[in-house]
Structure 1
Amino acid sequence: MTRRRPRVYFSLRSPYSWLTVRRLREEVPTCLDEVDWLPYWDPDPITSAALEERGGEFHYVQMSRAKHLYMLLDTKRLAQAQGVDMAWPVDIDPWWELPHLAWLAARRLGRPWEFYDALVAARWGRGDDICLPEVVRVAAEQAGLDPEVLLAAPDDPEIRETAADCLHQAYLDDVFGIPYLKWGRHRFWGYDRLDAFLDVWRPAREGGNPS
């Protein structure tokens, strides 16, 4: 039987995604090479139109103020349990296309995780607005990438097509929230499902029988 690769949907916006990816990398240090990583974000009208052309739609529903306040307290508690300092950024009219499409550009250039680490350090370490070009610029420089190339990602037709493909795959996988982990028929939503994901995936990757 061909060994299947898990898919992990992550978001640069979500603190639960950040904590999940961080812990998954600790639990399985080689996971960056063993997992298919797909970004997930609120698409702008251009990407939304491309997604609709593929027959897909965006399942995510914006959270209420009450849920947002709960998430703030909950994620701070989770971060403290991991021994991580966390800053809570204030997003004012964010354009999530920029950091996520810039990540796709960084992936095309072979340094996605250097850029990812610089972005999450800015967002969750310092509370910076990663949708601002100047923040993306600094993160690109820290990752050893040309910031002009990453800042131009939303204007790159190939990157736009890749972005729409990511969200269309998310639609096909019934993704409705982040983080979302999928391996074969197994699907797991949320930070608190990471152990369940590892319980079914790790035995197979270590030589057991795929489920």
Structure 2
Amino acid sequence: MARKPPRWYFSFGSAYSWMAYRDLVTRYPDVAEAIDWLPFWEPDDAHHDHLEATGVQLPYVAMSREKYLYVLQDVRRLARERELRMVWPVDREPRWEVSHLAYLVAEEHGHGRQFIDAAYRARWEEGMDISDPEVVGGLGAALGLDPGLLGGAWQDPEVRSRGLKALNAPYRDGVFGVPYFIDGFQRFWGVDRLPGFVSAVRHRMAAATAGAH
């Protein structure tokens, strides 16, 4: 059985995932180019019911007030350490299909990474509501993509079907939060575990290069 490529699961809804993204592309661009990028999000009711019916259970739990207050403090601290300008989002009832299914469309058109950058910047650096289809459509337009195609992806039956398949991947991989990194049997959860993942991937890449000579 062929070994799966190293990969990471990201979500536009997670500030920790945003910071992991920034670390990955600025500090470890070689690893960023060598791994698979896979989305992970909290499904809407229709997707949730379909996943449950097929035996797919994603580990979402409500956040306590105490944990929420801790996360607010922790995220601000980590952003300051990275000298990142951060605006805490105000989207009170997010619809994560809007942005993540738009990503699948952007990826299909060869602009997946650019869309990820734009979506993270919009939500965590500019305070925009990426659950608004018009906002997401605007992100697509800035990339030269049809804004209606991206803004309407969350309602497109074919794209929603692809979204269900995408959400099967974290279930199979046992993902329980983001950012989540996998290299072979090694798993790394959290932005602070990214250096360990990078080390593992680079070690394997070096060994493969040495074996080819």
Taking structure 1 as the reference length, what is the TM-score of the superposition?
Answer: 0.91
Helix, strand or coil: the match of 1:103?
A: helix
Q: Could you list the runs of 5+ residues in structure 2 that have no partner in the other structure?
A: none
Indicate conservation of the 8 Å contact 1:99/1:136, yes or no. Answer: yes
State how far apart, in whole Å, the 2-side matches of 1:50 and 1:11 are: 21
Partner of 2:70 in structure 1? 70
Indicate conservation of the 8 Å contact 2:133/2:152, yes or no. Answer: no
Partner of 2:10 in structure 1? 10
How far is 1:92 from its partner?
1.6
State how far apart, in whole Å, the 1-side matches of 2:22 and 2:3 are: 24
Helix, strand or coil: the match of 1:55?
A: coil
Partner of 1:56 in structure 2? 56
Helix, strand or coil: the match of 1:207?
A: helix
Q: In the alignment, is residue 113 of structure 1 matched against residue 113 of structure 2?
A: yes
Helix, strand or coil: the match of 1:116?
A: helix
Identity across the alignment (%)? 44
Residues matched between the structures, number: 210
Indicate conservation of the 8 Å contact 2:10/2:39, yes or no. Answer: yes
Partner of 1:20 in structure 2? 20
Q: Which amino acid aligns with 1:72?
A: L
Indicate conservation of the 8 Å contact 2:86/2:124, yes or no. Answer: yes
Partner of 1:124 in structure 2? 124
Q: In the alignment, is residue 100 of structure 1 matched against residue 97 of structure 2?
A: no
Q: Which amino acid aligns with 2:109?
A: L
State how far apart, in whole Å, the 1-side matches of 2:76 and 2:205 are: 32
Partner of 1:160 in structure 2? 160
Indicate conservation of the 8 Å contact 2:137/2:151, yes or no. Answer: yes
- Please, which moves more after superposition, 172-181 or 150-159? 150-159
Relative to structure 1, the CA distance from residue 35 to residue 20 in structure 2 (aligned partners, 3 Å threshold; closer, same or farther) is same
How far is 1:4 from its partner?
4.3
- Please, which moves more after superposition, 101-110 or 27-36? 27-36
Q: Which amino acid aligns with 2:40?
A: Y
State how far apart, in whole Å, the 2-side matches of 1:155 and 1:87 are: 28
Partner of 1:150 in structure 2? 150
Q: Could you list the runs of 5+ residues in structure 1 that have no partner in the other structure?
A: none
Indicate conservation of the 8 Å contact 1:97/1:154, yes or no. Answer: yes
Task: Show CA shifts across 1:35-58 (max 9, x none).
Answer: 111111110122223323442111
Q: Report the RMSD for the aligned CA atoms in angstroms.
A: 2.0
How far is 1:3 from its partner?
6.5
- Please, which moves more after superposition, 178-187 or 26-35? 26-35
Q: Which amino acid aligns with 1:133?
A: P
Taking structure 2 as the reference length, what is the TM-score of the superposition?
Answer: 0.91
Q: Which amino acid aligns with 1:183?
A: D
Q: Which amino acid aligns with 1:174?
A: G
Helix, strand or coil: the match of 1:206?
A: helix
Partner of 1:46 in structure 2? 46
State how far apart, in whole Å, the 2-side matches of 1:29 and 1:95 are: 30
State how far apart, in whole Å, the 2-side matches of 1:4 and 1:115 are: 25
Indicate conservation of the 8 Å contact 2:31/2:201, yes or no. Answer: no
